[in-house]
């Protein structure tokens, strides 16, 4: 069956892509294996030169690529431009730092000489989501390629135009053909890829349910797996927070990309001293957001990426309200063409409601009122997720101490949760395992080979 791309602004089909069968897939993976065998012996300087050229191409084609992403998954054009530019930045970062990250690590032992080498694994399968159709891919691909691996991309079916364009750009920039494979395949062929003898690991970003399935498959074939799954990030506002500054960042974190981000703030946990003022300010700011065509410069919130995602979000909202949550704004789909959902605020979200126990992937801010500071930390940890968290307070030392009590892989004070190539990215609990970015990320898909050398006795 073909893979179908819809324009979420209109609901109309904009492209169809024929999917590969098992035979075609096997042939392409064999080609990737041969390409990787040549690539892995290239010097870091040679690989870096290609990554720098990819960065140049990304910046040169930012308008075309950004428009494609906005048309295919619905984010505002300005956000799409920022995503493409961030992809260029990650290519340059690993071009500049991969050699030092993977340099031989000498260790003092009773050997004459002993050290650790970091060596490529082979082909890495990347299963990636639609919400950041370029960044999710390049965040993984740039370090994997610089380490000497090949990449086989199983992208989301609804962003195949972005996937194809990215694959073509990499080849145009000088990446050897076959080293980056875009796999237009259906889900039933994913196991074939994981089982392939030249595929040695899987990197997956997506839902918890899909992550469990992928991890089980990878485990059954003894393949390494790195999972970046969902999040329900707490945004804890203390009584001494700079409220105007905090509110601006709250809206930025929750409503960028129409709220479709794993690291978006999803639960705004507020202490009694500032609760009323926070809710009032949040509602006022959210009411001023501009919903519309993502290609329109004034739009700040575009449509959700798919109709089924909007239906799922609204069902979660309805159940939360039925359990006692209070709708302060929105909480409904917008009538008309496209998959738009009104920017929304829910106050007094009950403990066992979807808004507190599940991930709401859309433009819905959920306010939870804590009894005090200790209760705020309890609420932050009540979720099964553990991706990111932020605390907002003027008392930096106290906030930093409190961070250690939060179960999350990414913790921030007075800043929204975000990815930075210099720091590892990943979660705990149901948000996955393993790390991307920094030297941690590039080493995830390398073999750490021990080398021990002793002289013969004379």
So which residues are the catalytic ones?
Answer: 228, 262
Phi first, then psi: what are they for 120, rounded to 5°? -65, 155
Cβ count near 34 (within 10 Å): 14
Q: Which residues partner with 447 through β-bridges?
A: 119
Q: Which residue has the tokens 């991307």?
A: 436
Distance CA 79, CA 67 (A): 10
Residues 6+ apart with CB under 8 A from 374: none
Dihedral sign computed on CA atoms, order 277, 280, 285, 291: positive
Distance CA 307, CA 320 (A): 20
Angle at alpha carbon of residue 248, lines to 244 and 254, rounded to 5°: 140
Measured distance between the N- and C-terminal CA atoms of the chain, rounded to whole angstroms: 70
Residue 137's closest CA among 125, 146, 147, 121? Answer: 125
Burial per residue of 275-314, b for 16 or more beta-carbon CB atoms within 10 angstroms, e otherwise: beebbebbbebbeebebbbbeeeebbbbbbbbeebbebbb
Angle at alpha carbon of residue 54, lines to 51 and 55, rounded to 5°: 90
Distance CA 394, CA 413 (A): 9
Strands lying side by side in the sheet with 123-127: 180-182, 150-154, 123-127, 199-205, 224-228, 432-433
């Amino acid at each position: 069956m073909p893979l179908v791309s819809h324009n979420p602004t209109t609901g109309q089909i904009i492209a169809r892509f024929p999917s590969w069968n098992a035979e075609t897939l096997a042939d392409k993976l064999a080609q990737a294996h041969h390409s990787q065998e040549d690539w892995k012996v290239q010097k870091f300087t040679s690989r870096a030169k290609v990554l720098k050229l990819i960065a140049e191409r990304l910046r040169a084609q930012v308008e075309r690529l950004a428009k494609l992403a906005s048309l295919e998954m619905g984010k505002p054009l300005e956000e799409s431009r920022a995503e493409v530019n961030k992809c260029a930045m990650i290519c340059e970062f690993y071009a500049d730092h991969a050699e030092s990250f993977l340099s031989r690590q000498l260790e003092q032992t009773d050997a004459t000489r002993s050290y650790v080498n970091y060596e490529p694994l082979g082909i890495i399968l990347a299963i990636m989501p639609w919400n950041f159709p370029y960044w999710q891919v390049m965040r993984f691909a740039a370090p994997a390629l610089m380490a000497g691996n090949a990449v086989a991309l199983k992208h989301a079916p609804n962003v195949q135009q972005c996937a194809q364009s990215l694959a073509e750009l990499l080849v145009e920039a000088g990446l050897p053909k076959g080293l980056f494979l875009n796999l237009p395949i259906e889900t039933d062929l994913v196991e074939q890829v994981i089982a392939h003898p030249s595929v040695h690991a899987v990197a997956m970003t997506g839902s918890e349910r899909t992550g469990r399935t992928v991890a089980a498959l990878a485990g059954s074939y003894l393949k390494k797996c790195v999972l970046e799954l969902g999040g329900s990030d707490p945004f804890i506002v203390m009584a001494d927070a700079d409220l105007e500054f905090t509110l601006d960042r709250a809206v930025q974190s929750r409503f960028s990309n129409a709220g479709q981000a794993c690291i978006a703030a999803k639960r705004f946990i507020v202490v009694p001293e500032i609760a009323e003022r926070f809710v009032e300010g949040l509602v006022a700011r959210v009411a001023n957001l501009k919903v519309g065509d993502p290609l329109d410069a004034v739009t700040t919130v575009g449509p959700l990426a798919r109709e089924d995602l909007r239906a799922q979000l609204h069902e979660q909202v309805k159940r939360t309200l039925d359990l006692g949550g209070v709708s302060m704004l929105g909480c409904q789909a917008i009538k008309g063409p496209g998959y738009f959902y009104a920017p929304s605020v829910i106050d007094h979200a009950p403990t066992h409601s979807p808004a507190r126990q599940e991930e709401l992937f859309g433009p819905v801010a959920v306010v939870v009122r804590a009894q005090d500071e200790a209760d705020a930390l309890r609420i932050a940890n009540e979720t099964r997720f553990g991706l990111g968290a932020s605390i907002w307070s003027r008392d930096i030392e106290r906030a930093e101490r409190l961070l250690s009590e939060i179960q999350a892989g990414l913790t921030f004070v007075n800043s929204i949760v975000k990815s930075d190539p210099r720091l590892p990215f990943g979660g705990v609990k149901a948000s996955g395992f393993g790390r991307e970015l920094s030297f941690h990320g590039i080493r995830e898909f390398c073999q750490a080979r021990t080398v021990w050398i002793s002289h013969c006795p004379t």
